Chains A and B, each alone.
Chain A
Amino acid sequence: DIQMTQSPSTLSASVGDTVTITCRASENIRRWLAWYKQKPGKAPNLLITKASTLEAGVSSRFTGSGFGTEFTLTISSLQPDDFATYFCQQYDSYSPMWIFGQGTKVEVK
């Protein structure tokens, strides 16, 4: 099975900073990667699909990139509401299966 490794597990930042989260797949997943934001006590919210396509209504401060095995989520000009936990998720279209990374908590420095 494909494994997803997300890093860092925790990231400390300040309002206005630009931060980057990385997700690595154990094998080539082309562009089958999504990113989610989760606030405490809430369900995850879909941010980006197919590695770089922003969902409707999501701020353009969120940028996804990558192909194959390495992917990044960049959040520019960090806002107070951006402090949350972010998950990547890979889709294996052949099985099918949905596999999540371990999550990155973005916290206030």
Chain B
Amino acid sequence: QVHLQESGPGLVRPSETLSLTCSVSGYSITDGYYWGWIRQPPGKGLEWIAAAYHTGNSYFNPSLQSRATISVDTSNNQFSLTLRSVTAADTALYYCARLVAVTGSIDTWGQGPLVTVSS
């Protein structure tokens, strides 16, 4: 069974860069699917951030495209998100996930750690 686990700092200073890594177990990321990130400000709705294929093709929410980068590390079976120039509005639960193109859905989610942007 596929399992996703996020790792990274829980506190980031304003104007700095948020970096998160998602480790995938139980499935090889080179065997297909998109791998991506979704965030949720506390008590609010879900926002898709970015997705990537293991070949390196990547896709972004237009509202975050200028600040976000997604990369895939096939040798370690993990993928990462960086978000530059963060503000308090970027405080959220950050979920890594497996995205299924055939159905257009998201079938596996990580735990979604809280990342707080604060000085």
Contact = CB atoms under 8 A, between A and B. Distances in A.
Contact of A89 (B34, B101, B106, B110): B106
Contact of B106 (A97, A98, A103): A98
A98 B45 contact: no
A32 B62 contact: no
A37 to B, nearest CB: 12
B35 to A, nearest CB: 12
Interface of B is mostly: strand
Contact of B59 (A55, A96, A100, A102): A96
A19 interface: no
Nearest to B110: A43
Contacts of A45: 109
Given A102-B45, A103-B45, A44 B106 contact: yes
Interface of A is mostly: strand
B74 interface: no
A40 to B, nearest CB: 10
Contact of B107 (A33, A46, A93, A98): A46
Nearest to A91: B104
A53 B103 contact: yes
A99 interface: yes
A10 to B, nearest CB: 13
A95 B59 contact: yes
A63 B105 CA distance: 17
Given A50-B103, A98-B104, A43 B47 contact: no
Contact of B51 (A50, A93, A96): A96
